[in-house]
Structure 1
Amino acid sequence: MRKLWAIFKGLVLFIVVLVIAMIVTGWNVPGNKEVPGGHQTDEYASPYIYMVERGTGKAVYEKKANEKAYPASLTKMMTTIVALEHIENLSASAPVDTDTYQKMVAQNASMAGFYGREKVTYRDLLYGTILPSGGEAANSLAIHVAGSTKQFVKLMNDKAVELGMTRTHFANPEGLHDAKQYTTASDMAKLLDYALDNQNFRAIFTKGTFQTTSTADHPQGIALTSTVLSSLNAEVQNGFEILGGKSGTTYEAGQCWATFGTAGNGEYISIVMGAPLEDISHPDHAQKKDTLELFANLSTRQ
């Protein structure tokens, strides 16, 4: 009898210790939902999330926000703000660089639709980088601003240090996968928060469509469309409005969105990264669903 009682007490002690360990370490148990401050959750498909209120800097929601993630074309937000801070005249001629154009075509990168040597302007390249996520536009900006993509990447990393993006490193301007190009959701939020204070960046980031300059290759220009805003046209946004965004997708990075919107009287930045991707030709847009839910949940608390 004493032996059975000892076993029973040992079992009870084991269960108590196990429960305490689960609470302390944040193990995910059925029914847990992540709250600001961050326990793990299965509520969202995206493994890395950071939502912050602009102005106050208050984190509204976070999930593995400081863990390493690949940025894919969210990289182009840094490309664009760095370029803007080095360009004196957005209307000046900035022809599409032929060598990097051919490399982007060979690597099946997303493109804005420009041709090699096409005589576009800096403004065209900037909108081409953000709205349709053009790889040829991003690399052409890098060449014109810094003389080479290598030198431009140095400017990108210098800016990351300046902004306190301590867990970020860039390796190229266009966002194609590179193991040495990584970031975190919270670092991407820092970047976007900073960039939105630049009025030219904000105008580009929140533009739904843009018609590029007439050239010999495209006499009518090219109609550029935001990959984010165009996908939200049919979506109901009750109590909030997503004003702009940047998408990014590779198999390694998964499906990523960086968005900027309003709810109540506040402005908010949402970063969702790493939503699972099985077929890049037929994505399930889980990052969009996560983003809309984040904003919807935010609006209910206003």
Structure 2
Amino acid sequence: MKKMMRFIRNIVLLAVVLSVALLVTGQSDWNVKELFSSGNSDGYASQHIYLLDRDSGKAVFEKDATSKAYPASLTKIMTTLVALEHIDDLSAGAPVDVQTYQAMVAQNASMAGFYGREAVTYRDLLYGTMLPSGGEAANSLAINVAGSREKFVRLMNEKAAALGMTKTHYSNPEGLHDPEQYTTAADMAKLLDHALGNQNFRAIFTKPAFTTTATADHPAGIQLKSTVLSSLHPEEQHGFTIIGGKSGTTYEAGQCWATLSTADGREYINVVMGAPLEDVSHPDFAQKRDTLKLLGQAVAGGFK
């Protein structure tokens, strides 16, 4: 009997201590549930979210938007922008770099489909970087623009600093995981908002598909498709239209999307990052569901 009373007393004491701790930290009863649940009480699988109304320049919705996150292939947004700012002629030749091509194959990176030394153009590499998220295209851009990956990455970090992306650092142009390559959802939205002011970038970012230049390796060119736009259907979009996007996926970064959409004459940038990924070969597209839900709520006035 004494042992039972002691057990009950300890349980009551623990409950009191926990209640006091929650009061001190300002957490509500809803937060108590979160302490004992791995689910997402806000209904979104993504750990980091930033939804920006481009017309007002204000955030419509935020979730842990300034905390460190890994960008995966959202990195290629910066890669594409920096490259565009240093290319004079998009039709000029820019052959695929053999060494980085082999490295991307060895690391099982996403590829556009080019071959080493293939005689493509800057335009081909830019679309290959953005639409199918080609690792060989991103690295070949870096080599052709700056002479080396290292020099190009310096340009990426200089651009991030110039844009005030204070919580962002780059270490490679393709987005393969590196603990020293990180950003935030808010920084990514800032970058994309700026990049869309570059008309060449906007054209690439919003292109559903593109056929590359005919080469000896690919006489008919390569048919490239946007990983984001090719996965969407009109009936999924109620009151808004997603017109451009970039995807990014690694186990460390989770499933990520950065999209541009229109609704009632307004443009929205939506960045979702860190949706859990259990099997890269069979993703559940939680980042897509979050994006559609967020935009649906935004146009319905759900965040006012």
TM-score, normalisation: structure 2:
0.89
- In structure 2, do the counterparts of structure 1 residues 142 and 286 end up closer, same or farther at CA, with 3 Å as the change threshold? same
* Correspondence 1:62-211 to 2 at 5 A: 62-211=62-211
Cα pair 1:112 1:224 within 8 Å, conserved: yes
Cα shift at 1:90: 0.3
Amino acid at match of 1:178: D
Tell me the alpha carbon deviations over residues 121-152 of structure 1, each in whole angstroms, 9 at most, x when there is no partner.
00000000000000000000000110000000
Long gaps (5+) in structure 2: 1-12, 35-39
- In structure 2, do the counterparts of structure 1 residues 218 and 57 end up closer, same or farther at CA, with 3 Å as the change threshold? same
Distance of 2:142 and 2:119 partners within structure 1: 16
Amino acid at match of 1:126: L
Tell me the alpha carbon deviations over residues 173-227 of structure 1, each in whole angstroms, 9 at most, x when there is no partner.
0000001000000000000000000000000000000000000000000000000
Distance of 1:41 and 1:66 partners within structure 2: 19
Distance of 1:147 and 1:192 partners within structure 2: 25
**1:154 aligned counterpart, secondary structure:** helix
* Correspondence 1:30-69 to 2 at 5 A: 41-69=41-69
Q: Which residue of 2 aligns with 1:227?
A: 227
Distance of 1:85 and 1:261 partners within structure 2: 24
Cα shift at 1:264: 1.7
Cα shift at 1:26: 10
Cα pair 2:236 2:292 within 8 Å, conserved: no
Q: Which residue of 1 aligns with 2:259?
A: 259
Amino acid at match of 2:80: T
Cα shift at 1:23: 3.6
Cα pair 2:22 2:28 within 8 Å, conserved: no
Cα pair 1:70 1:181 within 8 Å, conserved: yes
- In structure 2, do the counterparts of structure 1 residues 155 and 18 end up closer, same or farther at CA, with 3 Å as the change threshold? same
**2:236 aligned counterpart, secondary structure:** coil
Cα shift at 1:18: 5.5
Q: Which residue of 2 aligns with 1:3?
A: none
Q: Which residue of 2 aligns with 1:28?
A: 31
CA RMSD of aligned residues (A): 2.2
Cα pair 1:263 1:298 within 8 Å, conserved: no
- In structure 2, do the counterparts of structure 1 residues 81 and 15 end up closer, same or farther at CA, with 3 Å as the change threshold? closer
Q: Which residue of 1 aligns with 2:212?
A: 212
Cα shift at 1:25: 8.3
Distance of 1:29 and 1:247 partners within structure 2: 34
Amino acid at match of 2:197: D
Q: Which residue of 1 aligns with 2:237?
A: 237
Long gaps (5+) in structure 1: 1-9, 32-39
Corresponding residue pairs, total: 285
Distance of 1:135 and 1:182 partners within structure 2: 18
Distance of 1:181 and 1:50 partners within structure 2: 19
**1:224 aligned counterpart, secondary structure:** strand
**2:268 aligned counterpart, secondary structure:** strand
TM-score, normalisation: structure 1:
0.89
Structure 1 residue 293 and structure 2 residue 296: aligned? no
Cα shift at 1:301: 1.3
